Structure 1
Amino acid sequence: MGRVLVLGNAGLDLTLQMQRLPEKGETLLGDSAGSAPGGKGLNQAVAAARTGAQVIFHSAIGHDAQGAEIGAALALEGMTELKLHHVPYPSDFSLLMVLPDGENSIVSMGSCAAALTEETAEIFSAKANAADVVLLQGNLTQASTLAALASATTRGTTTLFNPAPLWWEVGPLLPLCDIVVTNRGEAKTITGLSEPTEAAAALCRLGASMAIITLGAGGCLTSDSDGTICHYPASQIRAIDTTGCGDTFCGVFAAVLAMGLGQVTAINLAQSAAALTAQRRGAFTALPSRDELAVLAARYKSLEK
């Protein structure tokens, strides 16, 4: 069985429930404020670990109380290896504004994640072997992300890239990606194509071996380098808060691949896990538990037989 190696951000999520997003220059009152550990890298690593995979997670935090809080939460997750690089910046954080229909808008601060160097990224991916999955997001710099993907590729490792947030050009990195996962909006931004099937095919033409576009209540679709499109419907649920659904999907998907199950099982299990997240408030606080993921894994393993 392989491992999941996650190099990404770790921070705190500050959440506000909002009736609507503010207009330019407008101040609104939110309610049900809360905070919890977060960041795409952290959430995905935790989701992978709770699925049962061996997880190596490296990130960067500040020398502050927030960093200590993040480290204490991660220490409880039973990861195979956890390394938090201390850098001379305040620990990263995100402001999440959640609307009544469960949709969200997020603003993130990422100085710590951006401080992870190319050398650190190369050393990190050098831990990987052919049975492993290296999972990256868009929070690091383009140079460090490229270094990690290139180092993993030379080792025959499966590379899984979730490029959000989009703050630098993604296209040059896609030839180093075995699998790229985006939502509909991200795929449009990268490819310029609004139709998801066309955007998925374009991501493969840009170099990815496989593209997955998540569609919320519409499930997800995949495209491979041969142009084959597959659609995977999602369970019909009442979404409370979609924050963290993409992270749950990516972490669980990576874990299932590393555990040696097939891509179809990985996608179906990841979608079912994301549906659990959507029915709860928050991101880290809404991630499925180990017990919940064990039940899902047992169900899909039985279907494979």
Structure 2
Amino acid sequence: MRARGGTRSIQTGCRCLCGPSRKRGADLVGQVRVLGNAGLDFTLQVSRLPERGETLLGRGIGRAPGGKGLNQAVAAARARAGVIFHSAIGKDAQGEEITAALRAEGLAGLLLHHMPNPSDFSLLMVLPDGENSIVTSGSCAAALSVDQAEVFARDCQADDVVILQGNLTQASTLAALAAATASSALTIFNPAPLWWEVGPLLPMCDIVIANRGEAEAMTGLSQPAEAAAALCRIGASTAIVTLGAGGCLSSDCNGTIREYPAPKVHAIDTTGCGDTFCGVFAAGLAMSLGQDDAINLAQSAAALTAQRRGAFTALPSRQELADLIGA
């Protein structure tokens, strides 16, 4: 294995992000390539989650482009990374709305596969403390084929950062990871939503990013540090477990645990914070920042998202991210 921009150390069977970081705001090294879902988000503010069989009144309905793949691609692009985004949408008015929003973001490359399915959407229920529960449809994302996933990864370069999530099928995600790994690109896997076995994919992941609940679901371990270490034992080179207001922690293949406190803010809505973190973290790595600087940058960006309502509408602006990068 080779060292990448001073951030990836040479380890037997391991590609941990170790070593010194470069000055924040350095020239871009590679592109961020995102393969994932794109849809529409419908948001409701609720006093609590409904009971079984209950109809509950919500308020403050919101509508915006969304999907983990879309949000992560936009966050990375606004953090000045050159972003290539591939996704699947329906041949409908919702698909046209999603396309227009993405074209306005100035991505370096955009390929949207038009499926015979309705465009995907998510219902986000936001509680008074800012926490959220999400129900999502995924027929378009699930229809993205292995061949289309391989097309996405075909032009990956060794300095690129590739991000995938759990919305696609296991077969398509596996195909993209395998092709990206063969190109020596740095791979990031954010496995939410968990709807198939992720273990076979972890050996192809340089970095796995999961929240506390997802890490426990994948490992059976409730302690985040233990879960992160277990993800590395299963195959990931580095595991990052996000903890909301508690920041995040990481484990590498040597068993080293690092803790990162989050900025203290008054959270209004945590929807989209994880996507902001993933996208900005990937952009930081594409700038050849070390792990510590990339995580701190990503947490500062996620803190901005937490102070606003929505997901796409709460993503930091280009100027806000430029200020963070230059800080």
TM-score (norm 2): 0.91
C-alpha separation between the residues in 2 aligned to 1:261 and 1:231?
Answer: 18
Counterpart of 2:286, as a letter, is A
C-alpha separation between the residues in 2 aligned to 1:229 and 1:166?
Answer: 24
Match for residue 175 of structure 2 among 110, 126, 147: 147
RMSD across aligned positions (CA): 0.4
Structure 1 residue 89 and structure 2 residue 117: aligned?
yes
Equivalenced residue count is 299
Query: 2:197 is paired with a residue of what secondary structure?
Result: coil
Match for residue 80 of structure 1 among 94, 103, 108: 108
C-alpha separation between the residues in 2 aligned to 1:90 and 1:122?
Answer: 23
Structure 1 residue 203 and structure 2 residue 203: aligned?
no
Partner of 1:302: none
C-alpha separation between the residues in 2 aligned to 1:69 and 1:214?
Answer: 31
C-alpha separation between the residues in 2 aligned to 1:54 and 1:259?
Answer: 10
State the Cα distance separating 1:127 from its structure 2 match. Answer: 1.3
C-alpha separation between the residues in 2 aligned to 1:169 and 1:298?
Answer: 40
Map 1:35-74 onto structure 2 (within 5 A). 35-74=63-102
C-alpha separation between the residues in 1 aligned to 2:58 and 2:247?
Answer: 30
Q: Which runs of 4+ in 1 moved over 2 A?
A: none
C-alpha separation between the residues in 2 aligned to 1:123 and 1:26?
Answer: 45
Partner of 1:9: 37
State the Cα distance separating 1:140 from its structure 2 match. Answer: 0.2
C-alpha separation between the residues in 2 aligned to 1:80 and 1:136?
Answer: 18
C-alpha separation between the residues in 2 aligned to 1:58 and 1:122?
Answer: 11
Match for residue 264 of structure 2 among 236, 242, 247: 236
Decide which structure has greater helix share. 1
Partner of 2:13: none
Match for residue 32 of structure 1 among 60, 63, 71: 60
State the Cα distance separating 1:114 from its structure 2 match. Answer: 0.5
State the Cα distance separating 1:262 from its structure 2 match. Answer: 1.1
Query: 1:276 is paired with a residue of what secondary structure?
Result: helix
Query: 1:121 is paired with a residue of what secondary structure?
Result: helix
C-alpha separation between the residues in 2 aligned to 1:282 and 1:53?
Answer: 23
C-alpha separation between the residues in 2 aligned to 1:18 and 1:194?
Answer: 28
Query: 2:278 is paired with a residue of what secondary structure?
Result: helix
C-alpha separation between the residues in 2 aligned to 1:78 and 1:265?
Answer: 25
| Contiguous gaps of at least 5 residues in structure 2 | 1-28
Structure 1 residue 192 and structure 2 residue 220: aligned?
yes
Structure 1 residue 224 and structure 2 residue 260: aligned?
no
C-alpha separation between the residues in 1 aligned to 2:289 and 2:223?
Answer: 30
Query: 2:309 is paired with a residue of what secondary structure?
Result: coil
The percent identity for this pair of structures is: 75
Partner of 2:190: 162
Match for residue 154 of structure 2 among 111, 126, 143: 126
Map 1:221-300 onto structure 2 (within 5 A). 221-299=249-327
Q: Which moved more, 1:257-266 or 1:94-103?
A: 257-266
